[in-house]
Amino acid sequence: MKFGINSLSFTDTFLEGDLPLLEKARKMGFEVFEITPVDPERFPAKTVAKMASDLGLSINVNFALPETANTISPDPAVRRKSVELSKRLIDMFQVAGAKIYGGANYCAWKYFTGKRRTDDEWNWGVECYREIALYAQANSEITLAVETLNRFETYFLNTIADTCRFVDAVGVPNVKVHLDTFHNIREEDDLGAAIRGCGNRIGYFHACGSQRGIPGRDLVPWRVVFEALRDANYDSAITLESFHPRKKFAPLLAIWRDFADSPEQLATEGLSFLQSMYKEVYQQRATS
């Protein structure tokens, strides 16, 4: 298992001046660096690929579609924009050497209609995402990971079972499920059973404290989570996702307080906890 950290733990987006974060993450003990390029037009993709290769660091990316490029919009022109933007992003992320493209990459983040998801929205989403996935399959080595989000960030895919159903409906092998404990603990009746039910569809995993703080100092039943991941034979990457509480991105996620003395403390203590939990739980299978 490789362990990663999201760039938003330290910065608001990812520009040329943020490149030293790759070396910083590697020195902290992370093997994966997940980048959220909020301003993709200024994302230094080629330099990221070169630096990551030199450092022995894997790159993943996370991006949320805007409302102007929404796969489930009733406006066909907006849905078309979602597909075209996604294709451009996939090209860019391939240049950056990304292995996984996860997040709210399947519909606009924080888009609400005031109603439940409709059959039309489901069909639009599946149709658009299938085209996106086929493009990624033909033009990159990137795995697309569909993130299950809580009800305050989307109404489209809230449960793991629904996300599995969406992935199955898209039906392209490079599309997997992206799990995130921050979201999942809010929506699942039985977190362990939901993760096990996802099985081999799991393509990516975000380890987040229930309050976005340090894993192990929160309400997530971590042993239950790791046992379920073990039983699902997941052994790819676990990425710690939090957000710098003093940066401008934090209010978008309703972060109004510090979760640690510094982002570095949150990252290193979170990494230590996750590594120890992984070793303890997965070692049980090896010795049983």
pLDDT tens, position by position, 82-105: 999 999 999 999 999 999 999 999
Helix then strand then coil, % of the chain, to nearest 5:
50, 15, 35
**Confidence band of 286 (pLDDT split at 50, 70, 90):** low
Residue 56 has pLDDT above 90, yes or no: yes
Residue positions counted in the chain:
288
Residue 251 has pLDDT above 90, yes or no: no
Residue 185 has pLDDT above 90, yes or no: yes
3-class state of residue 177 by DSSP: strand
Specify whether the CB–CB gap between 135 and 87 falls below 8 A: yes
Distance CA 72, CA 124 (A): 5
Distance CA 99, CA 20 (A): 20
**Confidence band of 247 (pLDDT split at 50, 70, 90):** confident
Closest CA to 220 of 240, 234, 244, 203: 240
Which residues have C-beta within 8 Å of that of residue 226, sequence separation ≥ 6?
277, 278, 280, 281, 282
3-class state of residue 242 by DSSP: coil
The token pair that represents 119 in the structure block: 């059959």
Domain 2-287 has CATH 3.20.20.150: yes
Residue written as token pair 């894997």: 58
Q: For position 283, what pLDDT does the model report? A: 86
Q: For position 114, what pLDDT does the model report? A: 97
Q: For position 252, what pLDDT does the model report? A: 83
Q: For position 244, what pLDDT does the model report? A: 84
The average pLDDT across 57-68 equals 98
Residue 243 has pLDDT above 90, yes or no: no
The average pLDDT across 261-274 equals 96
Burial (CB count <10 Å: 0-12, 13-18, 19+), residue 147: buried
% of the chain beyond a pLDDT of 90? 92
Distance CA 40, CA 228 (A): 35
Residue 287 has pLDDT above 70, yes or no: no
Residue 245 has pLDDT above 90, yes or no: no
**205: enclosing H helix or E strand:** strand 202-207
pLDDT digits (tens, 9 = 90+) for 11-55: 998 999 999 999 999 999 999 999 999 999 999 999 999 999 999
Distance CA 16, CA 43 (A): 7
Residue 211 has pLDDT above 90, yes or no: yes
Q: To the nearest whole number, what is the mean pLDDT of the chain? A: 96
Specify whether the CB–CB gap between 237 and 205 falls below 8 A: yes
Distance CA 273, CA 215 (A): 7
Burial (CB count <10 Å: 0-12, 13-18, 19+), residue 69: buried
3-class state of residue 283 by DSSP: helix
**Confidence band of 288 (pLDDT split at 50, 70, 90):** low
**Confidence band of 248 (pLDDT split at 50, 70, 90):** confident
pLDDT digits (tens, 9 = 90+) for 123-158: 999 999 999 999 999 999 999 999 999 999 999 999
